[in-house]
Each structure stands twice: as structure tokens, then as C-alpha cells.
Amino acid sequence: MNGISEVTERYLQLYKDNIEKISGISSKYINSFRAGAFEKFRELGIPTKKNEAYKYTNLNIFFDHDYKSYFLPVESDFVKAEKFRCDVADLDTHGIVLLNGFYPTINDKLRQLPSGVWVGSLNEAATKFADKIEKHYGKYAKSETDGLIHLNTAMASDGIFIYVPEGVILTKPIQIVDLVQADDDMFNQHRNLIIIEKSAQISLIICDHTLSPHKSLTNAVTEVFVGENAHFDIIRVQNEHNNAGKITHTFIHQEKNSTASSNNMTLHGGLIRNSTYHHLGGDGAESHSYGLFLADKFQHVDNFVNVDHAFPNCTSSQLFKGVLDDMATGAFNGRILVRPGAQGTLAYQKSNSILLTDDAKMDTKPQLEIFADDVKCSHGATVGQLDSEALFYLQSRGINKREARLMLMFGFAHEVIQNIKIEPLRDRMDNLVMQRLKGDLSRCASCVVRCT
Amino acid sequence: MEKDQDKILSEVTTGEYKYGFYSDIEMERIPKGLSEDVVRLISAKKMEPEWLLEFRLKSYRHWLTMKMPTWPNLKIPAINYQEIIFYAAPKQRTNVNSLDDIDPELRKTFDKLGIPLTEQKHLAGVAVDAVIDSVSVKTTFKETLAEMGIIFCSFSDAVKEYPDLVKRYMGSVVPYTDNFFATLNSAVFSDGSFCYIPKGVRCPMELSTYFRINSANTGQFERTLLIADEESYVSYLEGCTAPSRDENQLHAAIVEIVAEKNAEVKYSTVQNWYPGDKEGRGGIFNFVTKRGMCKGENSKISWTQIETGSAITWKYPSCILRGDNSTGEFYSVAVTNNHQQADTGTKMTHIGKNTKSTIVSKGISAGMGQNSYRGLVKVLKNATNARNYSQCDSLLLGDKCGAHTFPYIEVDNQTAIVEHEATTSKIGEDQIFYCNQRGISTEDAIGLIVNGYAREVINKLPMEFAVEAQKLLQISLEGSVG
């Protein structure tokens, strides 16, 4: 495309206005990426529908907006965040509250959990764990086509940093509650880095909430390094209001014999785009990607998954399901790439969607790109409605239609939920989904901050 | 065992292209290059009416504003349109009424290809329109068909004799603005076949067009228009070959099909253009726009294709299901061997109510071949009860080839049921072992498995073609199992 679009121009300007301030608070190493990423962003711009990866998502609804502020944290902001408590019953976690993606400064900026795991601010870690950061930062989040990733690299100043030393097995999951709170329409970007060394194991829960009614847009990048024999689970629970735009890019790099799973549960949100990149970078690695979304009104949910089989004997699976109501639109874009030489690959992908109304729309684009012959790959995609025979069966046994529909939809969604390994969270999700399907719930009921 | 397989594989995949000869026919060519004058010259040579020239010029001017698309999963060398001869015709073509008027060299060519131009000798009823380079040289069984009111002739004749029909339907399915190569074709198309089946007529024989590229440096741009009026039925075949040459040649054709109420059209292709040599030199670029419109209620269009030739194949035979209860089908076997590339599939656009479509695509990659399936199933808002089933399987023979699948599904109606399934695998060692155990050699076992794999599609072909297709499949894959 020739010329730079107006929308892109807006963000180029934003960079120019803020870069000095951002660079001032960030470490030298992180700053060293900025200029290059900015150039790349200038070249690629904000993705349009002409970009294959964004073919079904119109970002302009959120990007072509005059955000009054670009979020950079001030001490006083964090006092508000501290008040927030998430109370999922029986869920025992190491809780961390983030404000607009930033680690609260009033606590220790970087603390060590009893088991030896470090959690804290990326910015802070850049000095304390300089060697780790230099080894991993910016190594996995790469893209030749997606300008948003470069925009993040160019401007993001902080985010969460987790370091799990070799052999540490964390039994309690880490829960990050990511709050979006602003007095004005706000754009924010954060950058997370998670390093799991050899034979270590953690589960991470990320809950996204919006506290303020203003329009907000988040463009977050998370890089994860999963070492040899290590184990990593990430579960994202997204429950935001219709004015919230959330773009997440998660890059999971796996070494030999490691396993990783990603689970995106989207209950509510204005514009949601979750890109998950699984890079199987060692023999015998295993990855699973799950996603469930329930969309209504004018919401748009887009799940993008890229599984890159770069080494032999790796296994991957994908399961994505969606229920679309009202005028909601959904997209699924899943790609399995088997590189030359990645023999013995097993890769599966499944995407099912249910349309409940005539105005709902679903676009799916599963892809297989295979350059090795000793592989078993398959994908299946369906778009349809509830099975009328199943519905009839239930009705014939005295269950009323509304109830029967609910049961079927719940069963449909549960197939994804059952892959959550943390039991209290799984029960909670079942419960939330049930309420959501009944229409009782527009946002997280147990959240103490009653946002309207 | 493993070694044995590799050896047999390489033997199987190195089969020679049988149709690579060149015939020395006296040809009339225009200078190479493309300009408005060339477009005018082609039109003048064919003594076309003013409206057609206008159509060509309109297309040409539009083409100048277009750029070649870059989205396919193909590596295409740059094409220099000024180096292509856009019109080449065998000489002596003043009203071919009997076979004697045809250049004997030319007749020999078709005999060699096994295409009967002589009606009496031919066993079953297949009417052939033979197209060599830019023009149609002979249409057989024209008279027999005319008795039933069926029009089957070259496109140029149709322009002269049935201008109303041509005017009415040409460009109605593939508009001149459609895509880069369709627009180019609209500007410079030379000849092709025209077929009209009147109301209520069931065409008694297979209609067939045979395309042959003969001259060097020429591009072939033919256009086929097939109209099935209400309650009619026709089965149409298309075959093609070209001489072996080191340079690439461009073939950019358009096929348009219109099916009116209750009509049924079956269109089968066995595409065997020269695929290039083992190092990937030469071969035809086969960039074709094929589209059928199910215009009336209960109409049906079925595409069957066996793609074994061409250096690069880039085509998507599509159906626009506009009439209520209409049906679209697509059955395809695409083979890529050596350095061949294919990006092929279909588009099913559901517009009418209760429309149905079926897609069965079987890709076979061997050698360094890259085979992509790209398909779109689109259900529009008013297409209540639309139903689609897609299945695309890929078979990999060898570890340097690639198989790719890019299905697009866009659903805008809640009553639609759209299903897509794809698998990719190689021939299982257990399958080969099972055959070996029963005394079937590895080579035969592979042939057996590949044929079984493609059977679902081959079964859809008319009988004579099915036999040929099966043989072709074996030749194309000679030496490729591993």
C-alpha cells in the first residue's frame, strides 16, 4: 500500500510525542529495540482488512479514535488498583493486580515468592535480571506482517515479569488481575515476559477487567519462554464492557519435551483479538490451544492461532468454540505450519461455532501448511446452529425449549472449559458461562468493583 | 524396504510427458507485444462486430489499471506481456467444411493426441471442438447436434451467427473487471467454444473441447461460454496439452456457465498442459477463471477436474448459487510433481434459499511439488437453510513436497450448516505392508492406494475420461512413493 494511512499517522504522532518520556523510564536494553520497531511499524502500519491475518476484523472501530491519553503510570494511580480484589471461591493463588498493564509501584516492584519464583515489574527486572532479559526479550515476538506487535515494541515501557528458576514447581497458580481504569478515553500498551527454566512448572491466570466506562484500547504483547521439560499453562479470562478493545499477542516458545497450553475464555468485550503463537522449538514439544467466546450485541471476537512445528515429533492441538448472539461477529483464524524436516508431527485443529440469530456472523479460516511428509494433520470447522434433533430429544423428555437450548449450549461450551486444569477456576467458568448464557450476567458477578 | 520404496517412487515420478511434441503447421502470427493496436488487430482479423471491439477495448483499458495479485501461495516469475504473441492461428482456414480442408499436419497432430476429428471413426458419441493456439479448427457432430437445436460451435462463429445470445450472456458470470487475468482475457481472447442447449433438451452426447498450444512464445486466451436453458442437461469435457519447451507459456482462459431453471451442467476437465521438466524449466502457467451461475431454481452445476499438468496452476472453478434449491459441486484431484505448483480450489456463494454445495478436493504432492487448496464458502444473509460439506485431503509422497489448505468460511445466516474437514498424511507403511503381504508389489500397492484415494473424484468423470484420468494419474506419479 502506498502512503501512510490516517490511522497509522495518529500512532506515529503518538510515538513522537511520548518517546522521550518512555525512554526516560525504561532500561537501555529495552530502549534499544524502539527505533527499529518504530521503522517497521511505519512500514506496516495499523493492520487493515487487506492484511490476511486481519481479514475479518476491522480494527479501525477502536484504532481510529482520538484517545485522550496514552497511559503511563503515576504513583497515585496504583492506590485505586490496590482496592480491587477478585474473589473466585476456593481459588488459592498468588494474586497480582496490574493497573492498565503496569505493576503497582507501591508494593515491592519485584518480589520473590516463597518457592523462589520472581514476579514483578519488567522495567525493574531489566536491571536486576539484565542477563535474562537480554537473552529473551524481543526474541519471540516477531512478525513480518503485524504492525501492532512493532507498535508495542516501540512504545511499551512496562508489564509483568515472571522468572521461574530451574526445577521449581509452583503448585499454586499465579493470578494476574489486569485492570483497565482511566478518567478518559485511553490507549495503553504493556509488555510481559515470562521465563520458565528447565523442568519448572507454573500456571498463570490472567483476568481482564475494565473499571471505568470510558473507551479504552489495550495492545499487549506477552513473550513466554518454556525451557526443556518445563510445563506452562496460561488461562485468560476476558470480561470487559462494550467500550473496551483488547488486542493481545501471546508468543509461546517451547524447548525440547516441554508442554504448554493456552486457554482464552472470552465472556464479554467490545473488540477482542487474541493472537496466540505457539513455536515448537525442540523435539517432542507439545502444545494445546483452546478458546471459547460468547458474544452478543455488537461485539467482535477474533481468535488467531499460529502453531509452528519447527522440530520433529511435536504434537499440537487446537480447539476453538464460539456462540454468537444478536449482531455479534466472530472470526477464527488458525494456522498449522509444519516446516521441512519436522517429521513425526501430529497436529489437530477444530473450530465450531453456533449462530443464534440471523444477524450474527462467523468467519473461519483454518489453514494447513505442510512441508514434511511423515505427518498426521487434520482440521475441521463447522458453523451452524443447535442440533434440532438433540433439541427435540430433550423436549420429548419434558424439558422446555429454553432449558433444552441452554443445556445444549452449555454442553457445547463445556468441551472447552473442561480443559482448564485448575478445578475451582473450572467450576467458576462453568458457572459464569451458565449465567452468561442465561443472560443474567453481563460482567463478572463476584467482582467487588461494580462497574456499570 | 525403505530404499525399495524410494526407488520405485523415483521411477514413478520421473515418467515422461507424452504430449511434448511440436507440430510444424503453417501458422499465421501477429507481432509480439500488447497494445491497443494489437487488441484492434485481433478483432479485425476475426472480423468482429463493433460491440465486441468495444468490449475488448474497455477491458484492455481497465487491465492497464490493474496489478497482478500477489496473494496466492505460488512463486510466479515475472511475466513480460510484451514478449507474448497474443494471436497465432493455423493458416488455410477458409471455411473448413470437410476434413479435407484441414492441414494434414494438423490432423496428424490431433490423431497423435488421440482426438478424433473424423466423425465416422469415433466410437462413442463425443462431439469435439478442437482449438489449436488461438483458434478453433474443427467442430465435429455439429449437424447432428443442430437437429436437436443444440448450438455447439467455435466462439467466433457464435459471434457471427448468434450475436444476441453471445451479447446477452458473455460477461454475465465473469465480468470483464473480475480479476487481472480475466480482464486480460476479455481484451485479447481469440477463440473458444460456444454451446447453447435449448429448453427441455437433454444433450445426447458428451461435448468436448480439446485445447492444444503449439506455437512458441504465444499465449493462449480462449473463452468458453456454456448456456443450459430451462430443463436441459449437458455434460461437457475439456482436455489440454502443449509441447515441451524451456520457456514458460501463459494460458489465461475464461469459462462461463449459465444454468437456467431445472438445468444441469456437468463440466469435467482433464488438464495436462506441459508441466515443465524435472528441474522446473518451462511449462505452462495455467491461470484460468471458471465460474458457473445457477441462475434458475433447482439448477445444478458440477465441476470435476483432474489437474496433472502445468508448471503453475491457479484456478478456482466456482458456483454462484443464485436460484433457490440450486446445487453446486466441486470434485478435484490435483497432482504436483517435480517443481510444479498448484493453488486451486473453489468458491461456493450461497445466495438462494435451500442451496447446497459439496466440495471434495484431493491433493497429491510429490517431488518438490507444492499443492494448495484454497476455497471459499460464503453464505449470504438470505440464503436460508444453506448446506455445505467440504472435504479436502492431501497426500504427501516424499519429504520435499508441501501440501497446504486455506479454506475460508463466511457465514451470515443462522440456519446455515457449513462443515469443513481436512486431513494431511502420507501413505501409511501399514497399508503398503498389508498389500505386500498379499503379494502386491510396492509399486502396485502405491498405485492402488493413490487410485483408491482419488476414486471419489474419478468416479464423477464420464467413463472414457475416467480411464484416461486414471492412467494419467499413474504417469504423473511415476516414481514418487516413499
Spell out the domain ranges in chain A.
6-438
Contact state of B417 with A385 under an 8 Å Cβ cutoff: yes
Helix (H) or strand (E) holding B159, with range, is helix B155-161
Tell me how far apart the terminal alpha carbons of chain A are, to the nearest angstrom.
41
Residue B121 has a pLDDT of 43
Collapse the DSSP code of A272 into the 3-class scheme (helix H, G, I; strand E, B; otherwise coil) and give the result. strand
Residue B124 has a pLDDT of 44
Strand-pair partners of B249 = B284
CB-based contact, B394 to chain A, within 8 Å:
yes
Q: Which residues of B touch A372 (CB under 8 A)?
A: 396, 399
Strand-pair partners of A292 = A265, A321
Q: Taking the CA atoms of chain A, what radius of gyration do you get in angstroms? A: 21
Rounded mean pLDDT, A220-235: 94
What phi and psi, each to the nearest 5 degrees, are found at residue B42? -60, -45
Contact state of B416 with A383 under an 8 Å Cβ cutoff: yes
Alpha helices in B26-81 (DSSP H): 36-45, 50-64
Q: Which residues of A touch B376 (CB under 8 A)?
A: none
Contact state of B408 with A363 under an 8 Å Cβ cutoff: yes
Residue B74 has a pLDDT of 84
The DSSP output letter for B269 is E
Closest approach of A340 to chain B, Cα-based (Å): 7
Residue B402 has a pLDDT of 87
CB-based contact, B90 to chain A, within 8 Å:
no
pLDDT at A236 over 50: yes
- Distance between CA B131 and CA A130 in Å, rounded? 72
- Distance between CA B125 and CA B67 in Å, rounded? 44
Closest approach of B65 to chain A, Cα-based (Å): 15
Residue A452 has a pLDDT of 38
How distant, in Å, are the alpha carbons of A2, A54, A55, A321 from that of A364?
A: 29, 12, 10, 11
Contact state of B423 with A378 under an 8 Å Cβ cutoff: yes
Closest approach of B406 to chain A, Cα-based (Å): 5
Contact state of A382 with B418 under an 8 Å Cβ cutoff: yes
Instruction: Output the average pLDDT for chain A.
Output: 85
Alpha helices in A363-400 (DSSP H): 388-396
Residue B5 has a pLDDT of 52
Closest approach of A132 to chain B, Cα-based (Å): 38
- Distance between CA A121 and CA A110 in Å, rounded? 6
Partner residue facing B405 (CB), from A353, A368, A376:
A368
pLDDT in tens, A305-338: 999 999 999 999 999 999 998 889 999 999 999 9
Residue B28 has a pLDDT of 75
Alpha helices in A160-273 (DSSP H): none
Contact state of A377 with B425 under an 8 Å Cβ cutoff: yes
- Interacting residues of B223 by C-beta distance below 8 A, sequence separation 6+: B155, B170, B185, B189, B191, B192, B253, B254, B255, B256
By C-alpha distance, which of B223, B198, B196 is closest to B209? B223
CB-based contact, B15 to chain A, within 8 Å:
no
The count of other CB atoms within 10 Å of the CB of residue A424 is 15
CB-based contact, B317 to chain A, within 8 Å:
no
Q: Which residues of B touch A371 (CB under 8 A)?
A: 401-402
String of DSSP letters for B162-179: -HHHHHHHTTSSS-TTS-
- Distance between CA A202 and CA B51 in Å, rounded? 73
Residue B464 has a pLDDT of 67
Contact state of A380 with B419 under an 8 Å Cβ cutoff: yes
Q: Which residues of chain B have pLDDT under 50?
A: 1-2, 9, 12-13, 93-95, 119-124, 481-482
Contacts across the A-B interface (CB distance below 8 Å):
117
Q: Which residues of B touch A318 (CB under 8 A)?
A: none
State the ipTM, two decimals: 0.73
Contact state of A355 with B409 under an 8 Å Cβ cutoff: no
**A82 near A42, Cβ under 8 Å?**
no
- Interacting residues of B104 by C-beta distance below 8 A, sequence separation 6+: none
Contact state of B394 with A343 under an 8 Å Cβ cutoff: no
Q: How far is CA B273 from the centre of its chain?
A: 10
* Interface test mutation site (partner A, options B350, B387, B409, max chain A beta carbons within 10 A): B409
Alpha helices in B405-462 (DSSP H): 429-437, 442-458
Q: How far is CA A105 from the centre of its chain?
A: 24
String of DSSP letters for B289-345: EEEEEE-STT-EEEEEEEE---SEEEE--EEEE-STT-EEEEEEEEEE-TT-EEEE-
- Distance between CA B107 and CA B25 in Å, rounded? 10
How distant, in Å, are the alpha carbons of A144, A181, A203, A319, B342 from that of A226?
A: 23, 31, 12, 21, 37
- Distance between CA A110 and CA A128 in Å, rounded? 9
The count of other CB atoms within 10 Å of the CB of residue B30 is 17
CB-based contact, B382 to chain A, within 8 Å:
no
Collapse the DSSP code of A397 into the 3-class scheme (helix H, G, I; strand E, B; otherwise coil) and give the result. coil
Closest approach of A326 to chain B, Cα-based (Å): 11
- Distance between CA A115 and CA A162 in Å, rounded? 13
Q: Which residues of B touch A295 (CB under 8 A)?
A: none
pLDDT in tens, B189-231: 888 889 999 999 998 888 888 877 777 777 888 889 999 999 9
- Distance between CA A130 and CA A297 in Å, rounded? 46
Q: Model-level pTM?
A: 0.81
Contact state of B423 with A360 under an 8 Å Cβ cutoff: no
Residue B91 has a pLDDT of 67
Beta strands in B61-134 (DSSP E): 88-90, 126-132
The count of other CB atoms within 10 Å of the CB of residue A42 is 18
What phi and psi, each to the nearest 5 degrees, are found at residue B202? -100, 115
**A174 near A93, Cβ under 8 Å?**
yes
Contact state of A358 with B408 under an 8 Å Cβ cutoff: no
By C-alpha distance, which of A186, A173, A211 is closest to A84? A211
Locate the chain B residue with the closest alpha carbon to A328: B412
Partner residue facing B396 (CB), from A361, A365, A370:
A370
pLDDT in tens, A292-307: 998 888 889 999 999 9
Residue B294 has a pLDDT of 93
- Percent share of chain B, pLDDT over 70: 85
pLDDT in tens, A117-128: 998 888 888 888
Residue A213 has a pLDDT of 78
- Distance between CA B17 and CA B175 in Å, rounded? 35
* Confidence tier at A448 by pLDDT (50, 70, 90): very low
What phi and psi, each to the nearest 5 degrees, are found at residue B352? -80, 170
In single-letter form, the type of residue at position A407 comes to M
**A270 near A301, Cβ under 8 Å?**
no
* Interface test mutation site (partner A, options B13, B388, B405, max chain A beta carbons within 10 A): B405
| Residue with the larger pLDDT of the pair B140 and A130 | A130
The count of other CB atoms within 10 Å of the CB of residue B73 is 18
Partner residue facing A358 (CB), from B381, B394, B399:
B381
Contact state of B420 with A379 under an 8 Å Cβ cutoff: yes
Closest approach of A368 to chain B, Cα-based (Å): 5
Residue A110 has a pLDDT of 81
* Confidence tier at A78 by pLDDT (50, 70, 90): low
Per-residue cell: A30 = 529495552
By C-alpha distance, which of B57, B42, B205 is closest to B133? B42
- Interacting residues of A153 by C-beta distance below 8 A, sequence separation 6+: A33, A34, A37, A138, A141, A191, A221
